[in-house]
A and B are shown apart, each in its own frame.
Chain A
Amino acid sequence: MALLEVKNLHTYFHTMDGLTKSVEGVSFSVDKGVTLGLVGESGCGKSVTSLSIMQLVAIPPGEIHEGEIIFQGEDLLKKTPEQIRRIRGNDISMIFQEPMTSLNPVFTVGSQIIEVLMIHRGMSEEEAKEKTISLFQDVGIPDPARRIDNFPHQMSGGMRQRVMIAMGLACDPKLLIADEPTTALDVTIQAQVLQLMRDIKKKTNTSIILITHNLAVVAEMADFIAVMYYGRLVEYAPVKELYGNPRHPYTHGLLNSIPRVDKPKTAKALPAIPGVVPNPYSAPSGCKFHPRCKYVQQKCIDQEPPYVLLPDSDNHLCRCWFPVKE
């Protein structure tokens, strides 16, 4: 049975400029011990999807309009705020992009984790402190007994992200949601943090949802990839299948357009996807990608394609009338 199953999720925002359908009918599941990469550009709804799972969407202006979020067999959307609070940070925890803004600057980093352990695990302060020191050790923070008394500004970006990871892992979560965990970091530090996340997964068998715009990072980390565009999932497949055989024109276009560090320089221009993501208040008709798609046909303009399994596959889903063949 899947650890997490998101079914037909719709999250809307009622803003001054009108209704934004940030997430429109997203469905996916995450099994135990699996890493799912959720990929897309800014505004595609990947972060709102994760905030909906955590029920951290501000209501109002937000609204989870429809859908089910089944975690360990129970629908999180039917739970009371009190019950959700017990799950959040305990069974499901989250690592955010910018550790400087998600850590409280006026408390020491240690005290922010000790608090979590005392609330969720009912530990005494002594026990919680000991556990925090061992967590810091696990995430590779040198001299942990001294570092727990540091304030966030006294640490480097990489160290702060390690603190965030330690906090995320404090209660041995079953599901860890990492929202752009390495985007703000240097490439050498990114490699350290990714290695740490791989080690942790091996050790604890935690499921991870890794949200990122970086197609190279997910290629190295994820078992499955889900690609989002304009609030919708457009393609889903095991990682090797998705990179080896991308079928949605958006995925196909993205993978072709990014410069590669492992390929020599050529004089050719990058085959960029033309245009920009459409305005959230005025959705295009039919397939939301059709204004930028080079394979567009009349059917794409008239009707939105369904998100279905490709006929020749049992785990490759795609939202396209005319999937790309190579």
Chain B
Amino acid sequence: MSTKNIPSESTSHSVPSITQEDIVETLPTYKPDALVACHRLHKYFPIHGGLLGRKLADVKAVDDISFQIKQGETHALVGESGSGKTTAAKTLIRLYDATSGDIFLRNFKTHEMDNITHARGANLRALRSEMQIVFQDPSGSLNPRIPVGDIIEEPLVVHGVKSKKERLERVVDIMEIVGLRAEYLKRYSHEFSGGQRQRIGIARALILNPKFIVCDEAVSALDVSIQSQIINLLQDLQGKFDLTYLFIAHDLAVVRHMSDTIGVMYLGRLVESAPNDVLFNKPSHPYTQALLNAVPIPDPTIERNKTIIMGDIPSPINPPSGCRFRTRCPKVMDICKEEAPPTKEIEPGHFIACHLF
């Protein structure tokens, strides 16, 4: 009963078209302050169809991405819908099984980076208490038939905290920390406002004392005045509990305020990643530039010459050859069609996959 709601190893995956030699290259060494990392991570979803349910194609939701997040920092993944941000995050915390690639998490006992890609059973359950997720829609992710106290308590039951009294104490504690009054314990989720529901979702994620939390569009559905309250709460908690966040958002203003490092995704690939100030001051990939250019600014005195990229994000089932952004890129060259651009480090910590560099 411990891992209900979690899709486990039921789906079988086809190996993607990279060969074994590609994978067995030397794994990078991780910085001593890295908490979580992934290396050449792939996640493909097979599409079955036809009379016999044969596999027709793959949706290449995450296609060869690598990054690491330092302990206590916030790494953001940005990109349009369908770029693979959520899939990458869910694969990272083992809600999906990776098609290939490796996932590492710092083990605080041994101080080593453990490879958790294939953890199963009790090992996996133990990992769940270290990696949690806060979802976008706070009403969709809370069971309407269960009092919120029980929702927040459930992870403790699952993870074997036996004493009812101890569980209740911890629930009351955590509710206070996230700014909910303890007398709301017996209420149901529909009795709360959107902001309070998101606080419940955060309390549930925090109750097992995780080190790593994925915030999947955690503030996107909230009203303007509530959004800033929850952003402040997330930052408070990060300081208090030394949390590491993977922050997924499409609102780049929130990302600029929240994150230390940022990865820009397009059609399953990381096209650029850099520290916060570098990415916002010196966006280098044409897609990053287009994305930043498209963000409206709440100041009518700023006149901007907007170059708007046309078209929609192509289908991840049949992505364009070579560079995947070439169909919308204003600076497209002949080589972009032929070859996928390799990822280069153009200055320390600033990675880019583009033929212009």
Residues of A near any B CB (own CB < 8 A): 41-42, 156, 158-159, 186-192, 194-195, 213-217, 219-220, 239-240, 243-244, 253-255, 257-265, 269-274, 276-277, 292
- Asked whether, in the complex, the Cβ of B228 is within 8 Å of the Cβ of A243, the reply is no
Q: Is B276 an interface residue (CB 8 A)?
A: yes
Q: Count how many pairs of residues, one from A and one from B, have CB atoms less than 8 Å apart in the complex.
A: 136
In the assembly, what is the distance between CA of A260 and CA of B231, in Å?
13
Q: Which DSSP category, helix, strand, loop or mixed, fits chain B's interface?
A: helix
- Asked whether, in the complex, the Cβ of B225 is within 8 Å of the Cβ of A261, the reply is no
Which chain A residues border B292 with CB–CB below 8 Å? 261
Q: Which residue from A187, A255, A271 sits with its C-beta under 8 Å from B80?
A: A187
In the assembly, what is the distance between CA of A213 and CA of B225, in Å?
10
Given A188-B80, A192-B310, A270 contacting B252 (CB threshold 8 A): no
CB A227 to nearest CB in B, in angstroms, measures: 11
Closest 6 CB pairs of A and B: A259-B257, A191-B294, A216-B296, A272-B228, A261-B253, A257-B228
Residues of B near any A CB (own CB < 8 A): 80-81, 193-196, 223-229, 231-232, 235-236, 250-254, 256-259, 276-277, 280, 290-302, 306, 308-310, 312-313
Which chain A residues border B300 with CB–CB below 8 Å? 219-220, 239-240, 243
- Residue of chain B at shortest CB distance from A188: B294
In the assembly, what is the distance between CA of A258 and CA of B306, in Å?
22
CB B337 to nearest CB in A, in angstroms, measures: 20
- Residue of chain A at shortest CB distance from B277: A264
Q: Which residue from A215, A261, A271 sits with its C-beta under 8 Å from B295?
A: A261
- Asked whether, in the complex, the Cβ of A219 is within 8 Å of the Cβ of B253, the reply is no
CB B199 to nearest CB in A, in angstroms, measures: 11
- Asked whether, in the complex, the Cβ of A41 is within 8 Å of the Cβ of B276, the reply is no
- Asked whether, in the complex, the Cβ of A257 is within 8 Å of the Cβ of B225, the reply is yes
- Asked whether, in the complex, the Cβ of B229 is within 8 Å of the Cβ of A261, the reply is no
Given A186-B81, A215-B298, A195 contacting B253 (CB threshold 8 A): no
Q: Which residue from B80, B193, B256, B297 sits with its C-beta under 8 Å from A186?
A: B80
- Residue of chain B at shortest CB distance from A265: B276
Known: A272-B228, A273-B228. 5 other contacts (CB 8 A): A194-B296, A195-B308, A219-B300, A260-B297, A269-B236
Given A188-B290, A216-B295, A243-B299, A276 contacting B228 (CB threshold 8 A): no
In the assembly, what is the distance between CA of A219 and CA of B232, in Å?
25
Which chain A residues border B313 with CB–CB below 8 Å? 186
